[in-house]
Chains A and B, each alone.
Chain A
Amino acid sequence: MPATTKTNFQLVSNGILNENPIFRLALSMCPAVGISTTVMNGLMLGIAVLFVQVFSSCTIAAIKNYIHPRIRIPTYTLTIATWVTVIDLVLAAYVPAAYKEMGIFVKLIVAFAIITMRLETFACKNTVSASFWDGIGMGFGFMFGMVALGFVRELLGMGTLLGYDVLGFRPLLFFVLPAAGFFCVGIMMALFNYVEIVYNRKKRAR
């Protein structure tokens, strides 16, 4: 893939819509199924991924010319692990309130497919600034997916939103269980695809 010709805005919207990590690329499904039980969990993991993705993308874009092509995967892993550790330590030291909520999620990010994939397909071929905007787009796209899933699952499973009781009862406890994560992701994915088909059809008709 040659260097991107997209504008910064296109890069961001590409991450959120066209190449949404969860609904379009179907990457990082583990957290999408396992952690998106509440809006808060989704938001926290989304923020953590956003930071790691942006920092890792920029780092790899900056050093891309010095990486031996045969050992790029270990270098990516090392970069991600370093940033995850740094963010974990800094949060624990200076933002204890956020760390209390996010602590267990941050460490999980080391193994996220979406971050490695963006480094491999985008950051190692593009400039630092393009990688930065791509990272922002992917991070927000992931966050959007997690929050959307969390919204549905928390509302239907626990009758609450962000911990506040909105329904006053629990419609279907099933939705907070891991199995329901698969259903929610599937239905959302179908919805995403359907919207795209309708949109393209209208575009052609015009």
Chain B
Amino acid sequence: MRYREALNQALREEMEADERVFIMGEDIGVFQGAFKVTQGLLEEFGDKRVRDTPISENTIVGVGVGGAMSGLRPVVELMTINFSLLALDQIVNHAAAIHYMFGGQARVPLVIRMPQGAGHQLGPTHSHCLEAIFLHVPGLLVAAPSTPADAKGLLKAAIQDDNPVIFIEHEYLYGQRGEVPENGGPMRFGEAAVRREGSDVTIVGISRMAITAERAAEQLAHEHELEAEVIDPRTLRPLDLDTILDSVKKTNRAVIVEEGWPHGGVGANLAALIQEQAFDYLDAPVARVTGADVPMPYSKPLEQAAFPHEEHVIQACLALFKDL
């Protein structure tokens, strides 16, 4: 099953199970979604529960916040993560804070879906990876699934959760296939997946980079006789730091791979946590492989050069062992 189909299935199942669940966003109804995630849902559930909206991100999220506060379970879609910046007021000042501001009397069980990622020549206004911005905000849960199974399980969990969830999908991943358990229920937030076991270096891959990291690990084993352990945190808030620390304590080395920018990134945060909590286990500096510190280029070769590929991960791992 493809990643987009898994998401579609999660939406359909949750809408069938709970009539409070409705979806809303630009082009999600008649056009069936910019990335076809909402295919067939308008036909099945009607335009009361599958609502097309104008181009108005702050309003889309604001309506979602209001609907969630009044007892519904909205799932809103923003066409790309870049557009979510238009809705930051509703996301940061309202969705994330309301439960706290009202002393727990109001909840915001809202899911905000958005894809991120480069590779389709969509330029600097469509292609960034901004999970670090949402990771920064207390009150938000942040999921970044990298497989169809996780996409389905975590989206079901997100819809059932009483907290606002930033659900980060990936444009490259929509077409990827993977096993999805039949009748699988919701997964738990805060449980990392160990994609590959190894004893020499821990690679933490965020979002699509979990896939890149796994491929790099295979090459490291075949060509360099290094066994890398690959961890996909799956959710960034809550973060399963224990699994990462246990692995680092075993391998004594950590490489964090993310597609986003280096400064203030997920990797910067994770590197700080690792050195704070496992300093005496480190045999090398915590290394980061990140997207380039530039706006995403439109030019195909430049775009390819601006986000990490397997060879960058391999180089970063090797550099922990010897002078290159």
Are these two chains actual partners, yes or no? no
